């Protein structure tokens, strides 16, 4: 077992010495978890196949689930991709650094394992000073899926990373909680019209307004298990984001959702189960049974996105047997939140 070193770092002005230590680990083929604006990522030199393989091993991640490659300079995109259309350049100028990942055709310098054997590559530039400093100091693009065990809720704090990967990776750069709380939006530019493979930190509405024509892949909005042969993006093929407890998502009109959750909670408590209820500020006072946690106000989807993974992990710590989660509006960041909750539940969804 490795000794995982936790290095505290200022999110706005990271200490160059600490960044240098972490970059040395990356350059030597090691693994460093680091913060981005979305969630914490587990990084390795994207051009070092042995190092990337260690990322898959540390996470128990299936080898056909490609990580995202993080860059700190748009010039790197032209090295990693063999075709960078004008549309991609415009998107980078508008949304980078930020929570938007672009799928492009990969160049020959990219090892096969970094793209899970695909002919495409997922690239983004994170909007976080620590992440950008680490990439620059490492002198290489960094392949980084979320820094959690495969299938678990994504980590939004260094503590979450340590829970899952302590003893399995070399270091964690701890810069406090992340700001967005759900992963980046993944946009495939190898198809026409461009297609969102995973909703995330850049809302569908913003991309539609900017590009004019954007499609949503069926898996991005699926409310039942959707079979994907080839995953061009993380979050498409396997069960993700799941707590240890069974999760049921209840969707519909708010009053009907509250009533259904109260009915289900009573039924499960009568069976001797410990019940968690994932609610919102407006609805949490309605519940008088179980462990009730609020995602935040239904009118503040950024707050809800920031809270969802943290609260799923808190329910696990409290030892609940079943979580009953309210659906939230599927507009803006709400689409990403609902994508995560539905996948975390294994599409165990009740409509009322």
Cα torsion at 167, 169, 174, 180 (round to 10°)? -120
Number of domains in the chain: 2
- pLDDT tens profile 45-71: 999 999 999 999 999 999 999 999 999
Helix or strand holding residue 166 (H, E) = none
Residue 224 has a pLDDT of: 73
- Mean pLDDT (the chain) is 95
Distance CA 304, CA 177 (A): 14
Residue 226 has a pLDDT of: 58
Q: Average of pLDDT values for 68-82?
A: 97
Distance CA 253, CA 117 (A): 44
Alpha-carbon radius of gyration of the chain: 20
| CATH, residue 45 | 3.90.870.10
Last residue of a domain, one of 157, 180, 203: 180
- Output DSSP code: residue 107: P
Cα distances (Å, whole numbers) of residue 317 to 76, 150, 308: 41, 18, 15
53 and 130 housed in the same domain: yes
- pLDDT tens profile 200-233: 999 999 999 999 999 999 888 877 765 656 666 6
26 and 172 housed in the same domain: yes
Residue 223 has a pLDDT of: 79
CA 347 to chain centroid, in Å, comes to 18
Residue 219 has a pLDDT of: 86
Residue 76 domain-assigned (yes or no): yes
- pLDDT tens profile 148-195: 999 999 999 999 999 999 999 999 999 999 999 999 999 999 999 999
Residue 191 domain-assigned (yes or no): no
Last residue of a domain, one of 147, 180, 213: 180
Residue 240 has a pLDDT of: 77
Residue 211 domain-assigned (yes or no): no
Percent of the chain scoring above 70 in pLDDT: 96
Q: Average of pLDDT values for 314-332?
A: 97
Residue 117 domain-assigned (yes or no): yes
Q: Which domain covers residue 312, as residue numbers?
A: 246-351
Distance CA 101, CA 185 (A): 6
* Confidence check: pLDDT of 239 > 70: no
Residue 196 domain-assigned (yes or no): no
* Confidence check: pLDDT of 114 > 70: yes
Residue 229 has a pLDDT of: 64
174 and 263 housed in the same domain: no
- Nearest by Cα to 120 from 101, 140, 135: 101
- Nearest by Cα to 167 from 152, 149, 155, 153: 149
């Amino acid at each position: 077992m490795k000794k995982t070193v936790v290095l505290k770092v200022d999110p706005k002005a990271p200490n160059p010495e600490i960044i240098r230590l972490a970059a040395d680990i990356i350059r030597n083929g090691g693994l460093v978890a680091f913060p981005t604006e979305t969630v914490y990522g587990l990084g390795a030199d994207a051009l070092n196949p042995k190092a990337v393989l260690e990322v898959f091993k540390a996470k128990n991640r299936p080898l056909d689930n490609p990580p995202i490659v993080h860059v700190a300079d748009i010039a790197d995109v032209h090295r990693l991709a063999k075709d960078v259309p004008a549309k991609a350049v415009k998107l980078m100028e508008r949304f980078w650094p930020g929570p938007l990942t672009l799928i492009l055709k990969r160049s020959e310098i990219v090892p096969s394992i970094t793209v899970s054997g695909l002919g495409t590559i997922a690239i983004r530039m994170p909007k976080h000073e620590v992440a950008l400093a680490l990439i620059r100091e490492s002198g290489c693009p960094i392949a980084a899926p979320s820094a959690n065990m495969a299938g678990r809720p994504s980590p939004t704090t260094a503590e979450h990373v340590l829970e899952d990967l302590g003893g399995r990776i070399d270091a964690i750069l701890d810069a406090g909680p992340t700001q967005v709380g759900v992963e980046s939006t993944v946009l495939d530019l190898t198809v026409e019209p461009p297609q969102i493979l995973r909703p995330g930190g850049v809302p569908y509405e913003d991309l539609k307004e900017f590009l004019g024509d954007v499609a949503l892949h069926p898996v991005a909005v699926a409310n039942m298990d959707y079979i994907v042969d080839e995953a061009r993006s993380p979050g498409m093929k396997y069960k993700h984001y799941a707590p240890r407890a069974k999760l049921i998502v209840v969707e519909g009109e708010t009053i009907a959702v509250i009533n259904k959750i109260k009915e289900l909670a009573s039924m499960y408590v009568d069976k001797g189960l410990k019940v968690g209820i994932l609610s919102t500020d407006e609805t949490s006072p309605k519940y008088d049974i179980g462990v009730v946690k609020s995602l935040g106000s239904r009118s503040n989807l950024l707050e809800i996105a920031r809270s969802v993974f943290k609260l799923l992990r808190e329910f696990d710590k409290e030892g609940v047997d079943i979580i009953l989660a309210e659906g939230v509006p599927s507009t803006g960041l709400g689409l990403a939140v609902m994508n995560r909750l539905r996948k975390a539940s294994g599409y165990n969804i009740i409509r009322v």
